[in-house]
Amino acid sequence: MTKPISFARRAVILAALALPALVQPALAADPAETFVSQNIAKGLTLLNNKTLSKEQKRDQFEQFLLGLTDLKRIADFTLGQYRRTAPPADVAAFEGAFRDYAVAVYQSYFSKYAGQTLKILNTTQRAPTDYIVATQMIDPTDNSGRPPLEVDFRVRTDGPRPVVVDVSVAGVWISLEQRDQFVGFLGQNNGNVKLLISHLAELARQFKS
């Protein structure tokens, strides 16, 4: 019997990649920062377009998300060592299940961030094609006095276009945490990637319902 993975908290965090947020003006110091700034603005325009039907918005949002991130690269990373030992057909099926799950999560939760502002703070270059774009999520209705939530994007520019490959919320890198969860699940289930695929598919259905 498989042991379920709890993704509720991570699902909320993952939605930070698709915030329907305003971007406060910032100098575009590098391609990664420009990429994050411009794409958040595109996401805002799409999500606030009231002329689109629910189905049209869902389809266009999926395409937007796929243009912002490299979900195949992220999926392969989250399989950890099982990426090397799993049959190629299972890896391909997992990549598809991960894509459907991630898109469903973002679509389900994006509305929770309406009206908030994503402020770009700075960019750190980790390597020639590897950047961290640091931002803050500003909630204008929050009068608690707590500091704004920090959301950092890891952007790679070693391909034909920049892509987001990870996101950190309050210091937690999501792809790293997912890798730990998936590898733990597979370790408890004899490395059966098909079971993990089934679990992600069920979670995606729940988010879409």
Residue 141 lies in a domain: yes
Question: What whole-number distance in Å separates Cα of residue 26 and Cα of residue 156?
Answer: 20
CATH number at residue 22: 3.10.450.710
Residue 106 lies in a domain: yes
For 5-13, which contacts have Cβ atoms below 8 Å and span 24 or more sequence positions? Answer: 5/181, 5/182, 5/185, 5/199, 7/105, 7/181, 7/203, 10/174, 10/177, 10/178, 10/181, 11/105, 11/108, 11/109, 11/207, 12/109, 12/112, 13/167, 13/169, 13/172, 13/174
Q: What is the pLDDT of residue 88?
A: 96
Q: What is the pLDDT of residue 196?
A: 97
Residue with tokens 């979670």, as numbered in its chain: 203
The tally of domains found in the chain comes to: 1
Q: Are 38 and 68 in contact (CB under 8 A)?
A: no
Domain residue limits at 150: 8-208
Q: Which residues of 108-128 are buried (b: 16+ CB within 10 A; e: fewer)?
A: bbbeebeebbbbbeebeeeee
Residue 2 lies in a domain: no
Q: What is the pLDDT of residue 18?
A: 40
Residue 36 lies in a domain: yes
Q: Which residues of 136-155 are buried (b: 16+ CB within 10 A; e: fewer)?
A: bbbeeeeeeeeebbebbbbb
Residue 151 lies in a domain: yes
Residue 3 lies in a domain: no
Give, for all 209 residues of the chain, the pLDDT tens digit.
Answer: 544 445 444 544 444 444 434 444 444 457 898 898 888 767 767 767 788 887 887 788 788 888 889 999 999 999 999 999 999 999 999 999 999 888 887 776 665 665 677 789 999 999 999 999 998 888 888 888 888 888 899 999 998 889 999 988 888 898 898 899 999 999 999 999 999 999 999 988 888 77
Question: What whole-number distance in Å separates Cα of residue 161 and Cα of residue 157?
Answer: 6
Residue 68 lies in a domain: yes
Residue 1 lies in a domain: no
Question: What whole-number distance in Å separates Cα of residue 21 and Cα of residue 17?
Answer: 11
Q: What is the pLDDT of residue 113?
A: 62
The whole model's pTM is what? 0.77
